[in-house]
Structure 1
Amino acid sequence: MIDCIIIDDEQHAIDLLKEHIDQVHFLRLVGTTTDPVRGLTMITDLRPRLIFLDVQMPNLTGIEILKLIGKDTYIIMTTAYKEYALEGFEHAVVDYLLKPIAFIRFLKAVNRLWTFHNSTQLKNDQDNYVFVKTEQKGKLLKIDSRRITYIEGLGNYVVIQMDDHRKITAYLKLKELAEHLSRMGFVRIHKSFIISLSHLTAIEGNMVRILNETKPIVIGEAYKKEFFELVNARLLSS
């Protein structure tokens, strides 16, 4: 399912797009507005994956909105003026629909987007999961690495802490796991711990805080230099 919003200063244009969206099973309309400034707030609040964006609007044009929002959002431009198409495509929009928008043309645009979205999602899934051997003989468990908060090594096995508080025991060496997960945003900070940088919330002296965990994890002396080099590379200072 792709959540979408419509930003268009003409209500009748919004109504037509709503009719089209209602006929497409993978689109879910979460908001509409005729005010482009309000549209910017909606983008922040609702975080839609797709925006149907009019070009010609008072106070703020669609092209100006394009320049203000992140590049992770799909954009389909809508307008009665085809001469704006080139500038829209320069901003990597998905498609450009001329008003009045026929359903068959609308369907062609969103179907192409759906195909691209699914292929991208599949690639992301392939890049972010691992299989581990569990305590049960012959059983392999698929784990989404994005949901791992930290991993504790206990000799010949590890305990993987998930963001929903599940603990998964797997028969692996921490060193082997650290090498494999390093490309996925994990870093070893202690002989017994690997942490997820995306779940790291604070650094307090020689300890780190992990999301949803009450106890901090100590940074081992042997790993301190490499860890703080990584932190300093992202440190903002005046």
Structure 2
Amino acid sequence: MSCIVVDDEQHAIDVLVHFIKQVPFLELRGTSTSPLQALQMVNAEKVDLVFLDVQMPDISGIDFIKAINGKCKVILTTAYSEFAAEGFELEVVDYLLKPVPFPRFLKAVQRVADSIESRAESSQVDMLEDDYLFVKTEAKGKMLRINLQDIDYIESLKNYVAFHYNGTRTLALLSMKELDDRLPVRHFMRVNRSFIIALRRITGVEGNMIRLRNIDTPIVLGDTYRAAFMEKMKGKLMG
């Protein structure tokens, strides 16, 4: 999920950039202390999410939201709670009060990820309408159908990825980033640099080890991916 940070205070930008680097599904496209420059960034490239300060010179965060006219999701960041009501009237996803604690930040970005999931899925009709995808295999000119519901996990192997499903392994000419961007986030999640797992296959989590159904060897939960994974698991946690 691509994002930018807009704030007239560099220190505030630095804090959010530090947080963004800890969330695997966030991709920082840029930062700016100028809202006018940030408007150009939004118009020039694909941006899914803007972290936006409210009180800035030239134009306010509220006017910025009106100017982008729904092109991307917005999380407001400010030291003043009185702007919350107006922000929500403009359909911002969340409102973060400075200083922003990381758990609260993570909750807000997960909310954004959930809110754009349906939009992302609608752009993947070839994958999701019938719950399958076609991949180019290592054999030249060969394409293979893989049902999403059959996938146990996907493993990175240098220039290839390996789909593990139904007790078999298929190599495909894809990158992990391509899969991370396209697979439905409701059902799949990257848990370290080399593995994407099917969430429905999880049978347990022990420390930093994730156990999957019918898979003998547990998969390591990477430190960089832990916070996002645990936030995802909270929705299923009882007691």
Match of 2:117 in 1: 118
Partner AA of 1:106 in structure 2: F
How is 1:144-155 mapped onto 2 (pairs within 5 angstroms)? none
Contact in 1 for aligned 2:65/2:90 (Cα 8 Å): yes
CA distance in 2, matches of 1:21, 1:76: 13
Q: Secondary structure at the match of 1:97?
A: strand
How far has the Cα of 1:107 moved from its partner? 0.3
Match of 2:101 in 1: 102
Q: Percent identity?
A: 49
Tell me the alpha carbon deviations over residues 139-186 of structure 1, each in whole angstroms, 9 at most, x when there is no partner.
9989xxxxxxxxxxxxxxxxxxxxxxxxxxxxxxxxxxxxxxxxxxxx
Contact in 1 for aligned 2:121/2:128 (Cα 8 Å): no
How is 1:29-108 mapped onto 2 (pairs within 5 angstroms)? 29-108=28-107
Identify if the C-alpha distance between structure 1 residues 141 and 25 changes in structure 2 by more than 3 Å, giving closer, same or farther. Answer: closer
Identify if the C-alpha distance between structure 1 residues 19 and 122 changes in structure 2 by more than 3 Å, giving closer, same or farther. Answer: same
Match of 2:203 in 1: none
Greater length-normalized contact order (CA 8 Å, ≥ 6 residues apart): 2
Partner AA of 1:122 in structure 2: E
Partner AA of 2:16 in structure 1: L
CA distance in 2, matches of 1:79, 1:99: 6
Match of 2:226 in 1: none
Q: Secondary structure at the match of 2:124?
A: helix
Tell me the alpha carbon deviations over residues 115-136 of structure 1, each in whole angstroms, 9 at most, x when there is no partner.
22223322443499888xxxxx
Structure 1 portions without partners, runs of 5+: 132-138, 143-238
Identify if the C-alpha distance between structure 1 residues 23 and 118 changes in structure 2 by more than 3 Å, giving closer, same or farther. Answer: same
CA distance in 2, matches of 1:29, 1:20: 11
State the aligned residue count.
Answer: 134
Structure 2 portions without partners, runs of 5+: 131-142, 147-239
Q: Secondary structure at the match of 1:118?
A: helix
Identify if the C-alpha distance between structure 1 residues 53 and 129 changes in structure 2 by more than 3 Å, giving closer, same or farther. Answer: same
